């Protein structure tokens, strides 16, 4: 499933293409997609395909096409502080993007059938936290993953503000999925070959919207052949953050505000000179001969010497403009992690600095 947009050379170009095709429509979703490089969730030998709008599967590891994930993210209408349940959480790619929006006071849980995929997801999550250049731009709601069949979730589990199921849901399981939602919550899932958004508007009231046609592998039914008993899946408890953790969040937030104020002061209330773009000249061509023949139209242009001279002058003007606007350096400066620099410059003991930076490697 996928192929709705052209391939990109890198993650940013892929996101540009998704925006142009209107799969990504909001700033929050765009920021989350740009912050996490899709290629980081591929095995090394398959990374050449990471920026194509295609699904990828290797063994039990699976990623949906970027156009599907962007439609899901938009449909979930995510906001800071919400609770999210990802059924069939897979590599954790989607859960990590959601965590960037939920922020430090959200809830981010995933259920995955295959234990080897859970281990893979944990490795990718650890890699993102320790190495990503974009991590410090957000306050992250770290996902928690549990192994089990998502059709066997314990009936006494808490309900969620947002739920996504990454496998095809049979009609007989629709009510089961709906009951995982709080009133006012949103469920997005593939139902009867359609990506479907269901909003719970009351205890027994629902609004349903079909988003687009999709093709997903169906949910795997529970297998009780061995013991004859259901293996209930117990979701992680909703933990209360420690005072130490709350202090770290507050300090980082204060430092970010200071950096923002300094940037605004340095740039004059944050207003920068707009970038200068080369004005493209439009060459108007005059059609001077039109022939109608068997319902087809043929148009030809008769050129004259003055036209050719004008074209040469326009080309020369364009070349001069390109030379004037050409940057002095071919490569932009690497992004600066201002939060990290500010923390490391503080008159604090090193262990406290490293704690504020989540013991990140860079």
CA distances from 115 to 41, 148, 163 (A): 17, 8, 21
> Kind of pairing, strands 160-165 and 83-87?
parallel
- Angstrom distance (rounded) from CA 111 to CA 315: 60
Cβ–Cβ under 8 Å, residues 212 and 191: no
Tokens 């003055």, residue?
A: 306
**Active-site residue (options: 6, 64, 303, 328):** 64
Cβ–Cβ under 8 Å, residues 114 and 127: no
Q: How many CB atoms lie within 10 A of CB 90?
A: 26
281 CB-side CA count, 13 A: 16
Tokens of 99: 């965590």
Cβ–Cβ under 8 Å, residues 153 and 111: yes
Q: How many CB atoms lie within 10 A of CB 313?
A: 10
Tokens of 134: 């974009």
Q: What is the SS3 assignment for 106?
A: coil
- Angstrom distance (rounded) from CA 78 to CA 116: 29
- Angstrom distance (rounded) from CA 188 to CA 68: 11
Catalytic annotation on 64?
yes
- Residues marked active site are found at 64
């Amino acid at each position: 499933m996928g192929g709705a947009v052209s391939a990109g050379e890198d993650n940013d170009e892929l996101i540009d293409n998704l925006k142009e095709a209107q799969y990504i429509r909001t700033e929050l979703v765009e920021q989350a997609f740009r912050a996490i490089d899709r290629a980081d969730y591929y095995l090394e030998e398959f990374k050449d395909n990471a920026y194509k709008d295609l699904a990828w599967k290797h063994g039990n590891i699976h990623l949906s096409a970027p156009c599907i994930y962007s439609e899901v993210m938009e449909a979930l209408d995510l906001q800071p502080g919400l609770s999210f349940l990802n059924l069939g959480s897979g590599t954790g790619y989607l859960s990590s993007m959601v965590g960037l929006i939920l922020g430090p006071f959200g809830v981010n849980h995933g259920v995955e059938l295959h234990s080897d995929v859970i281990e893979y997801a944990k490795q990718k999550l650890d890699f993102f936290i320790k190495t990503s250049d974009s991590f410090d731009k957000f306050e992250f709601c770290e996902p928690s993953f549990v192994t089990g069949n998502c059709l066997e979730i314990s009936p006494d589990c808490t309900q969620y503000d947002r739920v996504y199921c990454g496998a095809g849901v049979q009609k007989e399981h629709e009510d089961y999925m709906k009951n995982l939602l709080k009133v006012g919550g949103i469920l997005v899932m593939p139902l009867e070959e359609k990506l479907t958004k269901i909003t719970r508007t009351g205890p027994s009231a629902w609004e349903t919207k079909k988003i687009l046609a999709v093709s997903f592998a169906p949910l795997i039914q529970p297998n009780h052949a061995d013991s004859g008993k259901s293996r209930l899946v117990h979701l992680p408890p909703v933990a209360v953050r420690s005072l130490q953790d709350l202090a770290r969040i507050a300090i980082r937030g204060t430092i970010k505000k200071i950096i923002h104020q300094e940037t605004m002061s340095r740039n004059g209330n944050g207003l920068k000179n707009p970038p200068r773009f080369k004005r493209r000249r439009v060459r108007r061509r005059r059609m001077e001969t039109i022939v109608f023949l068997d319902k087809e139209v043929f148009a030809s242009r008769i050129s004259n010497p003055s036209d050719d001279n004008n074209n040469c002058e326009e080309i020369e003007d364009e070349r001069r403009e390109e030379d004037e606007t050409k940057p002095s350096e071919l490569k932009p400066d690497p992004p600066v992690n201002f939060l990290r620099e500010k923390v490391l410059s503080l008159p604090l003991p090193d262990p406290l600095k490293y704690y504020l930076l989540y013991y990140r490697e860079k």
